[in-house]
């Protein structure tokens, strides 16, 4: 007697990516290469694979089962049609740019494996995307968030408060990402007497970052209160049950600080890293040194902070310089002469460029 299929049964075929067996095997090899050889972050690998699946599903719905030969024979119009369809679904330029990056990565893998070149990808330009400026915190706000006495939630255990304070101190004091701070091993704890610590950043790259005395003291305070025995090879920061600390817990702690201090929604853990770089640059920090401290592969990534500083300087200029303030529009008269009561210097000064509010609109909005 045959059993009826369960309504909750999962179709195993539906879980596989669109394409024939050869294409699926190539996708599996590509994913392993991204993780093993290029050492990409797991989230990046997942995003690239998801974008490729969406493209293959689009092709399958219109032209049947995708194949490697079909990808090699793609025309630029095929890719533009897919991008237009994604645009119509509300997908933004950044996501489309990442999608093209993922497709190009897979195309390079196919070419390396001897399948041929996907020439169409070289003929399609990435969409133009306005680069968002980082949103650092003002110095007083950053100092308030990392001050040992700032305790927005006294109901939690003292060691938990000390742990969160130590992580937040590392984010601003050493410019670490959350993943880098939580990736520190207990044996590498930056305690007093240690002036630098080695962290593993994106792509598995290891770099040395400075440890300020205040940061070392915050870490030492956490270690003295932590009730869990820490394995020297295990994580430095642990949760309430002794397991690895989740990044979500750090985000919650920063959100609590943000509410207690009345800071905007942009005051996130990553904003502390932005603040580290911006405040160093504002105090004549050397750009190349800041690049090394942040672990940026390209100097152009670090140079974005110079635009933040320029926007801040222009904002200060507009607020302080008497002739930088927007002048009221004079009421136009029907006569051809100048309006009565108008300062004879106002029009020339406007023509000479003293009214500067309109000169940097995009940076002002994004700073």
Point out the residues that are catalytic: 177, 202, 270, 273, 296, 305
Helix then strand then coil, in percent of the chain rounded to 5, is 55, 5, 40
Separation CA 345–CA 356 (nearest Å): 16
Count Cβ neighbours within 10 Å for each residue of 159-189 and write b for 16 or more, e otherwise: bbbbbbbbbbbbbbbbbbbbebbbbbebeeb
Report residue 144: phi and psi, to 5°. -65, -40
Cα–Cα separations (whole angstroms), residue 233 to 201, 229, 230, 236, 270: 18, 12, 8, 9, 26
The answer to whether the CB of 126 falls within 8 A of the CB of 229 is no
Count Cβ neighbours within 10 Å for each residue of 58-85 and write b for 16 or more, e otherwise: bbeeeeeebbbebbbebeeebbeebbee
Structure tokens at 173: 């004091």
- In the block, residue with structure tokens 């993943």: 179
Other Cβ atoms within 10 Å of 232 Cβ, number: 10
Nearest to 310 by CA among 101, 133, 120, 58: 133
Nearest to 304 by CA among 294, 319, 318: 294
Cα–Cα separations (whole angstroms), residue 164 to 136, 146, 153: 20, 10, 11
Helix (H) or strand (E) holding 313: helix 304-320
Structure tokens at 356: 């500067």
Q: What is the rounded end-to-end Cα distance, in angstroms, of the chain?
A: 69
Structure tokens at 285: 């920090």
């Amino acid at each position: 007697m045959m059993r009826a299929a369960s309504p909750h049964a999962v179709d195993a075929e539906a879980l596989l990516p669109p394409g024939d067996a050869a294409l699926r095997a190539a996708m599996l090899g590509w994913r392993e290469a991204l993780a093993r050889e290029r050492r990409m972050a797991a989230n990046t690998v997942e995003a690239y694979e998801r974008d490729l699946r969406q493209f293959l599903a689009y092709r399958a719905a219109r032209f049947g089962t995708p194949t490697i030969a079909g990808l090699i024979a793609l025309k630029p119009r095929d890719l533009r049609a897919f991008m237009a369809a994604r645009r119509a679904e509300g997908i933004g330029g950044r996501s489309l740019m990442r999608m093209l990056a993922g497709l190009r990565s897979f195309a390079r893998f196919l070419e390396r494996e001897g399948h041929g070149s996907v020439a169409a990808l070289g003929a399609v330009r990435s969409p133009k995307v306005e680069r968002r400026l980082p949103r650092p915190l003002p110095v007083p706000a950053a100092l308030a968030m990392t001050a040992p006495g700032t305790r927005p939630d006294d109901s939690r255990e003292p060691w938990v408060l000390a742990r969160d304070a130590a992580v937040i101190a590392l984010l601003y004091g050493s410019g670490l990402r959350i993943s880098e701070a939580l990736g520190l091993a207990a044996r590498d704890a930056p305690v007093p007497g240690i002036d630098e610590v080695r962290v593993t950043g994106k792509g598995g790259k290891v770099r040395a970052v400075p440890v300020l005395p205040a940061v070392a003291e915050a870490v030492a305070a956490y270690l003295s209160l932590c009730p869990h025995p820490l394995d020297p090879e295990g994580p430095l920061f642990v949760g309430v049950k002794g397991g690895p600390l989740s990044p979500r817990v750090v985000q919650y702690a920063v959100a609590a600080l943000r509410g207690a201090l009345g800071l905007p929604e942009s005051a996130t853990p990553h904003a502390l890293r932005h603040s580290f770089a911006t405040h160093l640059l504002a105090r004549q920090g050397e750009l190349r040194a800041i690049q090394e401290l942040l672990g940026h592969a390209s100097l152009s990534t670090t140079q974005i902070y110079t635009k933040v500083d320029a926007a801040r300087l222009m904002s200060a200029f507009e607020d302080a310089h008497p002739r930088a303030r927007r002048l009221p529009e004079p009421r136009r008269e029907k006569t051809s002469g100048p309006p009565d009561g108008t300062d004879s210097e106002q029009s020339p000064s406007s023509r000479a460029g003293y009214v500067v509010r309109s000169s940097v609109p995009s940076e002002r909005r994004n700073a």
